[in-house]
Chains A and B, each alone.
Chain A
Amino acid sequence: MVTDVDLSVRIGSLELAYPTLMGSGCYGSGEEFAPFIDLSKIGGVVLKSVTRAPRLGNPTPRLVQTPAGMLNAIGLQNPGIDWYLEHDVAKFASRPCAVIGSVAGFSVDDYAYVAERLAARDEIHALELNISCPNVAAEGETFACDPRLTARVVKTVRATTDKTLIVKLSPNVTDIAGIAREAESAGADALAVINTVRGMAIDVNAWKPRLGNVTGGLSGPAIRPVAVLAVYEVARAVRIPIVGQGGIETASDALEFLLAGASAISIGTGNFTDPRIPVRIVEELHAYLAARGVRSLREIVGKANVGFANPYQYEGDEG
C-alpha cells in the first residue's frame, strides 16, 4: 500500500495534474459544471468545437436517449472563430485546469485558419483537431476517414503552432490504426480515440427518424467496447500518447482504456449521468493504484496490451 500515487500525465508538452479531460461538446467551457464539481480536480476541459464561420447547428430534435447511451446531432453549433476570440476566449483564463481548444472545419484551409488564431491565445493551452464530427453534411468526417486527407490537415495545422496538438479520430473507418499512423507522421502530439459512432433511431409511431438530422453520433457505455478496441489497436500502431474515450463512467472503465494503451482519458456523456463522476474516477484510480503498490499511473499504461510500447518510455520516464 502506497499513499503518494502520482496521477499526473503528460500529453505532448501539456502537463495535466489529473488524467481526466472533459469531452468536447459535452462540457461547455467548464463553467457550466462549476456549481457541481471542483474544476481544479479534473485534468482539463476540451472546449466545444469551433469553426471558421458561425454555425446555427442542426434542426431539432438533437438528442435521443438510447440503451446504455445516447445519440446526438448538434451539428457544431458555434459562433465562429471571430466572435469566439472576441467574446468568449478571455473568460477561459480563470479555469483552474487545462483548457484545450477544439477546431473543426470543412477544408484544410479552414482548419489551419482557426487553429492558428486559437493557438495564438494564452488562454488556450493545447489544441484538439476534430476531424471526426459525424453530424455535419458530408465533409466533416471525411478527414478522419481518409488517410491522405488526415495527413494533409494535420501537417498544415502542425505548421501553425507549437502547442500540443491532439488529433481526434473517428471509429467509423475500416482501419483506424492506419489513420493513426498518418496523423502521427504528420506531426500530431497525441490522439483522441474515439469520437462518436454513427447511428440512428426511428420513431415507430411517427414513421420518422428521431433526430432532426436523421443520423447522429452514439456515445456513452454502449460504445465502450468499440472504443477500448480502437485504443488497443491504435496503441500498437503509434508511439504518441492516446486520450481514450467512449462511455467512461467509473474508474474501472477508465482502467480498461489505460490498460489498453491510453495515457489519459476523457469523459463526455458520463457527466450527464452524474456531474461528480470525474472526481469520483480520480479518487477511485488513486485507491486502486495505492492498493496495488503502484506509484504512478503512467506505469500501468498499456499493461494489457502485449507488444505495446508505453509512450512514456520514449521520454525517459519510469514505467
Chain B
Amino acid sequence: MVETAQQDNLSLAAIQAGDRAEFARLVDLYSAPIYRLALRILGEPRDAEDVLQETFIKAYRHLKDFEGRSSISTWLYRIASNEAFMALRKRKPEAVSVDEEISTVDGEREPVQIEDWCCLPEAEFLSAESREHLDLAVGNLSPALKMVFMLRDIEGLSVRETAESLHISEAAVKTRLLRARLQLREELSQYYGERLKEVKQA
C-alpha cells in the first residue's frame, strides 16, 4: 500500500509541467500495486507487464487532462483496471462479462463450512502450503469480485476510492466485497478445517 506521505510528496504540478524525474517517481510508487493487480486478474506475467506499460503510457498521455478531482492513485487504478479488463476480454471473449451485473436480489449464499479454524497454531497460516491456498482461493473469484477484493482488502483503498477506481457505486463495491470475502471464507474453511482435524489428531 502506498503511504499518504509519499503521495503528498509527489508534485502533480511538476509532473504536469513535464518534470520527467517526478514522473519516474510516480511510476516507481505505483508500479508494484498496478503490476500485482494485473497479475492477479490476468494470471500471466507477460499480460500483467503489458497492462503495466499501457497504464503508464495512457497516464502520461492524459496527465494534462487530470483535474485532481480524484486522487492520482484512484485515477491510475482506474486506467489499470480498464486495461486489465480489456486484456481479459481480448483473451477470453467467451468469459462472462467482467463488469457483470452482480445480482443483489437473491442475497448471499448461506455459509456451508462451519468450522472454527481460527485457533490453529500461527505456523499453520504461515506455511508455504497455506499461502498457496490463499492464492488459489483468490484465483477462483470472478474478475469483477477479484478486482474489488484486491483494491479494497489487498491495496487498502477505501470503499469510496474503490468505487471511483472501478466506476461503480459504493453499494456495488460493498456487495461485491461481501460476496468475495464470503467465497474466500468458504474455500479457506475447507482447507484450514482439514488442517484442524489433522492437528487435533496429532
A-B complex is real: no
Q: Which positions in B face A, CB cutoff 8 Å?
A: none
